[in-house]
Amino acid sequence: MSNEPTDDDGSLPRRTFMKAAGATAGAAALGVGGAGSAAAEVDGLDSRLLNWRRVEAKKAWDRGYRGRPDRTLAITDSGLSGRHPDLGPWNGVVASTDDDGNLVLADVDSQDVDYPDPDAAVEITELATLEGSGSVGPGAADAGQVSRDVIVTFTPVDEADERSPDTDLEPTQLEGTLTWTPQRQDNELFLEKKVDGDWEVVRSGTDFNPQSGAGERIVANGIEAGATYRWVIETYVNASASYEFTGAVNNRQGVQQPDIEFGSTGSVDPFEEIDYEPGQEAVDPAAPKTVGWYNEAKRYTEAQRPRDGDGHGSHCAGIMSGTGQASVIDYRNTTYEEPRTVVLPTEFLEYDVDVAADATVFASAIGDNVRVEVVYDDEVVHSTGVRTDSIIADEPAVHDSGTATYTIRVRPYETDAATGEVARRAQEGNPTAGRLTEIAYGSYVAPGDIDGSPPAGARQPGGNQSVHPGIAPNFSLVSLEGLADPTLDLGEFAGAFADVFNVRAVNMSWGYLFGLPIGAAGGALSDIPSAIRKIAEGGMLSVAAAGNAMTPANGNGAPAGMDEAISVAATGPFDGLTPYSAGGLGTADENESDVDRKPDVTAPGGDINDYAALLATALADGSVPVDIGYPIPGNYELARAVQTGDEDTAYEAADPPRDYTGKGGTSMASPYTCGTTGLVAQAMEEDAPGSIALPAPGETTFDDVMRLKQVVLATASETVFTAAPYHAAKSPPSAPQYTHGERDPYEGYGRVNPDAAVDAVSRNLLGTDPQLGDETYEVGLGGTVGTNIPVDSRAVAGYVDVPGGSLDVSVDFTSYGGGNAGQATGAPHLDLFVYDAESPDENGEPSVVASARGTDGTASVSVDVDRGSRNDENRDTYYVVAKIVNIPGAVNGYDVQANFDMGVNFDPADAFPPKEIDLDVSGSRTDDASVFTAGQTNRVEITVEDFNEELAGAVEVSDQVPDGWSVDENFGDVESFDEDSGVVTFEGTASTSDVSGDGSKTFFYFAEAPDEGADDTGTYTFGPAEATAVDPESFSSDNRTRGSTSEEFGGTDTNTVVGASTNV
C-alpha cells in the first residue's frame, strides 16, 4: 500500500507506479501473489524486526535479569561516548592515579571544573606530509606468520624542520590513513615507536568498516617530537593486497586539560545517584549509566570525561550494556506492512515518513537480496548492506528544525564492483531481483520526548520496544581508555576497582597479533598475563576477543590466551563460525609452565562482507573462481550498536549523538559474552544457592570468579551439526568437530547461551532442597530446544542442591513443533550433562560429573552423592544441562523445535540418627590459697564463661565442697548448702546474654576448713562445678534430640589443711 497521495487528476505519481509495477511484475514472474496486507499502525513489532541481540537477551530479561545499576561492567578500549543516550548519562566520576601511585577519585559535578568548550577552535597546522604505496602479502596464516611492510620511518621534528622550515611550531600530532585493494578486515595499520632499540606499537587502527569502505585511520596526540616512529602495514591471510597510505605530522593547539581535584577512593560514591534494591527490574531512565572514567593512557583521546576518539569502544560498550534509549520505537509514528512482493531489477518500493529534527528515522524489513535506503531531499543518507534476515536502517534526522519527510526506499541489490582478476571474469554492478516480505518504518522516540523524560529503552520491562539495546542494559559502565596500559593499571588496582566501582567483568576487544612474539608462547613476554591473573584475584572476570586471523594461531595472544579469561570467537547469525574468526592454539601462561587452550566460547560477531577476498586465499594470484555467486550477504545488524559522536563537537542536550553502526569481528563477540557474564553474575548474587552464590564484588575471590566463568562455558552449545552449512563457508576450512562437552580448537565449548546460563544458577529443578531420609523427590519437567534462533533455546538448564543419595536425570524426546517440523527426518540428538557447580576444574574449566549422548533423543545419567558424616554432613550443588546437538534434516534458520520430557529424581540416603544436643559449658574456678589452718575461711569463685544456647538460654550453677568443710549460707551467692552431699547451690542463673561476646558470670561462697583436731590435717578437693540447663529445649525436628542437660566444668582445686585453728 502506498503512503503517497495521488495527484489531483487521479493518476498515480511516477514513484507509486514503479512500486505497483515492480510488485505485480515480480509476482507474475515468480508465480506468487502480488497482493500484501494493508498498512497498519503498531503497538509493538515482531521480534524478527528487532536486533537479533535484543531477541536473545530478552530471554534472560524475562527471567528477571537485566543487570544491576549498582554493579558495573568495565571495558578497556578506545573510550566511551558518554553523551550517547545508550551509554549515558555520566555521573561525573573520574579515576586517576596520584604521584604516589595510588588510585584516586574525583566527582567533577561537585567541583567547578572548567572543561574546554567543544566548539572552541582547535587549530591543527600541517607541518609535513607522508605518503606510501605498494603491495603486501601473502602471509602464511596456517603457520601463524604475518607479512609486514614498513611504509615509512621518520622523526617528527626532522620532518617538520625539512618540510616547514619557516615555522617554530613543534610536532604534537601524527595522523595516518591506510586504504587497500581489495578492502578487507584482515590488514592492519600500526604506528610504532623506537624505545631502547626495540619497536613498540603505540597505536593501532580499529575502525575498519567494510560496509562504508573506510580504511584504517590513526590519530596520535601527545607524541614525542624527537622520537623515531614508523608506519607499518600487516596482513595475515594468504592473499596479496595493494595499499595506499597518506599521513601527516601536525601541530595541534587549543586543547586544555581541566583542573580536577582528586581525593581518596573513599571520598566519592559512584552510586550515590542510583536507587536500586536487589531483584528490582526497572531502573530510572535518567539514572547515571556511566559511573567511572579512567584515562591515564590518553591513547585515543585526551579527554578527562567519557569520550571516544575511535568509536570501537563505544560500539563494544553498546553491545555489552547499551540501554537502547536512542532506538525506542515511536509507536505513534510507525507503520507496519506486509507487501510480500518481488522487486525486479531497476525498480523499487518507497514509503514516506515524517520525522522531527531531534528524532531518528528507521525502517526494519524482512526480505531477500534487497537493501534499504533512507532518502532525504533526493539524497541517500543511509544505506544497508544486503542480508538474508532482518534489514535495519536507521539515521538521525539531518534537517535542522521542525518536521520533514523522509523516504524509505527498498530496492534490489546490485553486485558490488569487482576488482583485480575478478573484474575480468565477472560483470560489475549487475542488477538482481529481490523480495520484500515485511517492513516497519517510522521514527525512534526523541530524547526527552516522553513527558519530558528520556525514554526507558531496555532499562525497564514493558513500554515501547527498543531496537538496539545491549545484552545487559541495566549494568552501569566503567570505561578505561586505552588497551594494554589501562589493563595493567586495572591489575595493579584490581581490589580497589572491584570494591569502589563494584566491577563484575571486564571486556577486552583487543589483543596482540599472534601473541608476542609469533608462536605458541605468545603471551610469555608481556606483562598482560600477570595483569589478567591479578584482575581475577581481585574479583573480576576478563572476557576477551579471540582475534580475526582466520586460524587458531591468533587466539594465543594476550589477553584472550590467558587461562583466567574467557576467550571468544565470532559467529554469524546462525552460529556458523565467521571466516575471519580465530581459534586457539596453546599459549604459555604467566608462569611459562603450562599451556592454555583457547578459545572458550563463541558469540555473534557479524559477518564481514569480504568473502571474495577470503575465498581467494586458496589461489596464489588472488583470482576468484568464476562460479562464485554475487552478492554474498554481510550480516551487520547482528552486531549493530552505538556509534560514537565527534568528541570535539558540542551537542545540545535534546539532540545528542544517537546514531548506530555495524562493525564485524571477534571484538563484537566479546562484549556479547561479557554482557552475558554480567547477567549470570546478577543471578548468582541474587538467586543462587549459598554454595555458589557470589558475594559483593569487593568480597569476590578468585574461586568465585572461576565459578562464574564455568557457568558461561558449561551452558554453551556445540554447533557442528546445527550450523553445518554456515561453518562450511569458512575458508580455509576450519569447521568444529563434535566433542561431547570437551573443548574444540575453533569454537571452544560452543555458542554462548544467555538464557541457559542464568537458569543454571537460579532455577532449582527439584523446586526444593532435599533432606536425608525416606522421602524421595521426583520432578517431571518439559523442555524445548530448536533451530529457530534466536527465538529458540539451544539448551535447557537448572541446578540441584542435594545431600547424600542418588541423583538420576533423564531426557526423552516427545515431539517436533514449528512451521518446518516436517524437515526433521529422525529423532534429535540431545546431550545431557551434570556439572560440579561448586568446584570447576582448574581456571574455570567445566567439571563434568556425568554425561550421556542422546543420539536417539533419549539420555540418562546417575550421580552418587556422598553422605558425609554425622558431624560433617555433605551437600553438593550440580548444574544439569540438556543441549541440542542435531536435528536430522534441519539446521539453524529453520523453524523446528524438539520437545522433550526431563525427569529429575533424587533418592536421599538414610538420615543420620538424631544428634544429641548436650549441654556444653566452659568456665573456671579460683580461691584464696592452697594451704589453710584448721577453721580458716576460703573464698571460692566459680565463673561461667560460655555455654551452648542451642540447648538452653540459662543455666543454674553448683559446686562440690569436700567433706568436713562447711559453707555459711548467709554470705556470698549461696542459695543453699547440703551438708550431707557437700553441694553448694548458687542463687540466680547465668544467661546467654551474660556470657555473650567477652562476657562471663561469677558466683562465690565462703567455705570454712574443719577444726576438730589433728585428724583433720590433710588434703581436700573442691569441685568440679556443675551447670544445669534451665528449661532445656525439647527439639521438634528429626535430626536433633535432647542429650545431657548438665555438665561439670571449671576443674578441681586441691587444698591442704595443717595444724590447729588460728581463730581467736
Residue 712 in any domain: the answer is: no
Q: Please tell me whether residues 96 and 209 are part of one structural domain.
A: no
Residue that finishes a domain, picked among 870, 890, 908:
908
Co-location of 366 and 485 in the same domain? no
Task: Judge whether 748 lies within some domain.
Answer: no
- The residue among 848, 882, 908 that closes a domain is 908
Based on the domain organization, do 84 and 173 belong to the same domain? no
What range defines the domain where residue 390 resides? 14-35+330-444
Nearest residue to 606 via CA among 576, 565, 643, 628: 576
Query: Does residue 84 sit within a domain?
Result: yes
CA separation for the pair 393, 839 (Å, rounded): 47
Do both 955 and 1030 map to the same domain?
Answer: yes
Q: What pLDDT does 712 receive?
A: 99
Q: The CATH number of the domain where 504 resides is what?
A: 3.40.50
Q: Which amino acid is at 140?
A: A
Q: Are residues 469 and 592 in the same domain?
A: yes
Q: Return the pLDDT at 966.
A: 95
| DSSP one-letter code for 748 | B
Nearest to 940 by CA among 1030, 1013, 1011, 1009: 1009
777 and 808 housed in the same domain: yes
Residue 501 domain flag: yes
The pLDDT score that the predictor gives to residue 969 is: 94
Query: Which residue in 223, 140, 234, 128 sits closest to 178, CA to CA?
Result: 234
- Please state, in angstroms and rounded to a whole number, the distance separating the CA atoms of residues 73 and 80: 13
- Mean pLDDT by groups of 10 residues along the chain of 1064 residues: 31 29 32 47 84 94 97 96 96 93 93 75 89 77 62 96 92 90 66 88 60 66 91 72 91 80 95 93 94 91 89 94 96 95 92 96 91 95 73 94 97 59 39 88 85 84 93 98 90 96 96 40 58 97 82 62 91 84 59 69 72 33 29 49 84 86 85 99 98 98 99 98 80 79 93 99 98 96 96 98 99 98 97 99 97 98 96 95 98 95 98 91 96 94 96 97 95 96 97 95 97 85 98 85 96 90 56
The reported pLDDT for the residue numbered 555 is 52
306: left (phi over 0), alpha (psi -120 to 50) or beta: beta
Last residue of a domain, one of 845, 873, 908: 908
Whether the CA torsion 195, 199, 200, 202 is positive or negative: it is positive
What does the block give as the cell for 344?
525486479
767 CB neighbour count, 10 Å cutoff: 12
Element (H, E) at 180: strand 173-181
454 in a domain, yes or no?
no
Place of cell 620511518: 153
Which of 520, 579, 844 lies closest to 710, judged by CA? 844
**CATH at 408:** 2.60.120.380
Q: Residue 49: inside a domain, yes or no?
A: no
Whether 231 and 284 share a structural domain: no
Q: What are phi and psi of 711, to 5 degrees?
A: -60, -45
Q: Residue 491 falls within a domain, yes or no? A: yes
Residues 920 and 903 in one domain: no
3-class DSSP assignment, residue 410: strand
CATH code at 165? 2.60.120.510
Between 702-714 and 528-537, two packed helices, what is the crossing angle to 10 degrees?
100
Q: DSSP letters of 1000-1055?
A: -EEEEEEEE---S-GGG-EEEEE--EEEEESS-----STTEEE--SEEEES--EEE
The identity of residue 734, as a single letter, is S
Total domains present in the chain = 5
State how far the Cα of 1064 lies from the Cα of 1061, in Å rounded to an integer.
8
Are the C-beta atoms of 150 and 239 separated by less than 8 Å? no
Pairing, β 434-444 against β 360-368? antiparallel
Which segments of 787-912 are extended strands (E)? 795-803, 805-817, 829-836, 848-854, 858-865, 868-869, 872-873, 875-886, 897-908
- CA dist 565 to 532, 560, 599, Å? 7, 6, 10
229, 336: one domain: no
H/E stretch holding 203:
strand 198-204
DSSP symbol at 732: S
Considering Cα of 36, then 38, then 39, then 43, what sign does the dihedral take? Answer: negative
Report the SS3 class of residue 670.
helix
For residues 861 and 939, membership in a common domain is answered with no
pLDDT score for 380:
95
pTM recorded for the entire structure: 0.80
Q: Give pLDDT, residue 26.
A: 32
The secondary structure element, H or E, covering residue 954 is strand 954-960
Q: Based on the fold, state whether residues 71 and 99 are members of the same structural domain.
A: yes
**Helices 484-492 and 494-501: angle between axes, nearest 10 degrees:** 80
CA distance 649 to 116: 11
Same domain assignment for residues 529 and 633: yes
Residues 6+ apart with CB under 8 A from 890: 787, 820, 823, 824, 896
One-letter amino acid at 356 equals A
Q: Is residue 1047 part of a domain?
A: yes
Give me the pLDDT at residue 553, please: 47
Cα–chain-centroid distance for residue 141? 30
What does 495-526 look like in DSSP terms, one character per residue? HHHHHHH-EEEEEE----TTTTTTSTTGGGGS
User: Residue 920 maps to which CATH number?
Assistant: 2.60.40.740
Q: Where are the alpha helices (DSSP H) in 643-701?
A: 666-686
Q: Residue 236 is placed in which grid cell? A: 595475515
Classify residue 767 by its DSSP letter: S
Q: How many CA atoms lie within 13 A of 898 on its CB side?
A: 37
Looking at residue 572, its pLDDT comes to 85
What residues contact residue 423 under an 8 Å CB cut-off, 6+ apart?
A: 417
**Residue environment code for 589-614, b if the CB has 16+ CB neighbours within 10 A, otherwise e:** bbeeeeebbbbbbbbbbbbbbbbbbb
Run of H or E residues at 704: helix 702-714
pLDDT at residue number 374: 97
